[in-house]
Amino acid sequence: MDSAAISRQVVEIMTVDTPAPPLRWISVLRIHPILGMGDILWKGLPPTFAHMWHYPRDMLHWRAWKQVFYDNTQPWILADLDDSCYGMKEYLLSKTKGTVLEIGAGTGESIKYYPAEKIDRIYGVEPDTHKCKLIEEEAKELEMSEKYKVVPCGIEKTSKLEEFGITPESIDTIVCV
Q: Which domains does the chain have, with CATH numbers?
A: 24-84 (no CATH), 87-175 (3.40.50.150)
**Sign of CA pseudo-dihedral 165, 168, 173, 176:** positive
Positions of the chain with pLDDT under 70:
1-3, 5-30, 32
Which distant-in-sequence residues (6+ apart) come within 8 Å of 45 by Cβ? 69
Residue pLDDT, tens place only, 129-141: 888 998 999 999 9
Global pTM reads 0.66
| pLDDT given for residue 85 in this prediction | 80
Residue pLDDT, tens place only, 84-119: 788 888 888 999 999 999 999 988 889 999 999 999
